[in-house]
Amino acid sequence: MTAFLLDVAQGFAAPSDQSGVRAEPQVAHLERGGAALALSGVSLSFGGVSALSGIDLAVRPGEIRAIIGPNGAGKSSLVNVLSGLYRPDRGEIGIGDERFARVRPSRLAHLGLARTFQNLALFRGLSVRDNVATGLAHRRRATWLGNVLGTPGARRDARAVAWAVDEVLAELRLGAIADRPAGALPYGLQKRVELARALVARPRVLVLDEPMAGMTATEKAEMAADIRAAHARLGCTIVLIEHDVGIVMSLSDRVAVLDYGRKIADGTPAAVSTDPAVIDAYLGTVHAEAA
C-alpha cells in the first residue's frame, strides 16, 4: 500500500490538522455572487482513455476548493483544462464573467488567474528575484528599446516590478535568498519561490497543483500556513490539488472528489469524508493494493 493511500485512509478516518487552526470559510466572499471559476460538462479523453467525463464544478469567489482523488482520477487533466493547456472534447470553462471552449494560456494572467505546477517549473539559472518577477511579465509596458535606453517609463516600470517582488519575497520569507539561483535551493524553498511567483501579480484565482508534493511534514505545515496567509491577505479564490488528505481537510472550504474521470462527491470536508462513494473509491483502491 502506498504512503499516499495510507494517508487517504487515515485522513478520512480522522481528519487531522497538521498545520494549525482550520481556516474559517470566507462567508463574505462566498455570498458575493457567481462562480469565480467554473467547469460545465467538461469531458476529455486521450485515445480510448477517458480522463474527464462530464465534469461540472463551480468555485465560489474567495473559497479554498480542493480537488482530490486516487492516482489517475483526472486531477491534473482538470487543472490543465482550467489553465488552457488542454482543450476539452466537450464542455465549457468559465473564469469570472467569461466563458471559453479553451482558455489561451497567455490570457490567464490578464484574467487574474495564476497557477503553480506539480513539477517545479522555475528558471533554475535565474535568481529567486528574477524568477518571481516573471510572474509580472504580462503587466510590463516598457519596450525592449525603452529598457535599453532607460527611458522614464521603463524606469518606472522596473521600480514597480521591484517593489512588488520585494513585497512578496518579504511575505514569504525569501528576502535573504533573493539573489541566489533558484536551482541551487532545497526543494521546499523552490516550491515557495513558485508560490511567490504566482502571488506577485496578486491573482484573483490561484490554482495550486500539488504544492506540497515531495515535502517533509515541516515544509508542508509551512506551505499550508503560507497558503492560508495569502488567502487571508488577498481574499483570492484558491483551487488546491493535493494528495495529503489531512492538509486538504484542514485548509479547504469544499472538496470535490474525482474517480476515474468522474466527480463522485462534492461538499464540505466533513460531508465528503463520510460519503460512502468516496470511502468506497479510496478503500477499494487500498484493498486492491493490499491484496
Ligand X SMILES: Nc1ncnc2c1ncn2[C@@H]1O[C@H](COP(=O)(O)OP(=O)(O)OP(=O)(O)O)[C@@H](O)[C@H]1O
Instruction: State yes or no: residue 73 binds ligand X (CB under 6 A).
Output: yes
Least distance to ligand X from the beta carbon of 171, Å? 29
Stretch that binds ligand X, among 19-27, 68-76, 123-131, 168-176 (CB under 6 A): 68-76
Q: For residue 134, give the C-alpha cell.
A: 516573471
Stretch that binds ligand X, among 71-79, 171-179, 189-197, 225-233 (CB under 6 A): 71-79
Instruction: State yes or no: residue 71 binds ligand X (CB under 6 A).
Output: yes
Instruction: State yes or no: residue 76 binds ligand X (CB under 6 A).
Output: yes
Instruction: State yes or no: residue 144 binds ligand X (CB under 6 A).
Output: no
Which run of H or E residues covers position 7? helix 3-13
Pairing of strands 262-267, 90-95: unpaired
- Select the residue interacting with ligand X from 15, 25, 54, 72 (CB under 6 A): 72
Residue partners of 45: CB distance under 8 A and separation at least 6: 51, 52, 89
Instruction: State yes or no: residue 46 binds ligand X (CB under 6 A).
Output: yes
Using alpha carbons only, what angle is made at residue 216 by residues 211 and 221, rounded to the nearest 5 degrees?
A: 65
For the chain, counts of helices (H) and of strands (E):
12, 10
Dihedral sign for Cα atoms in the order 100, 105, 106, 111: positive
Residue partners of 93: CB distance under 8 A and separation at least 6: 38, 39, 40, 42, 81, 82, 99, 100, 101, 102, 103
Instruction: State yes or no: residue 54 binds ligand X (CB under 6 A).
Output: no
Stretch that binds ligand X, among 70-78, 146-154, 185-193, 247-255 (CB under 6 A): 70-78
Least distance to ligand X from the beta carbon of 71, Å? 4
Given the complex with ligand X, which of 46 and 163 has the nearer CB atom?
Answer: 46
Residue partners of 214: CB distance under 8 A and separation at least 6: 187
Least distance to ligand X from the beta carbon of 5, Å? 11
Instruction: State yes or no: residue 51 binds ligand X (CB under 6 A).
Output: yes
Instruction: State yes or no: residue 77 binds ligand X (CB under 6 A).
Output: yes
Q: List residues binding ligand X (CB under 6 A).
A: 46, 49, 51, 69, 71-77
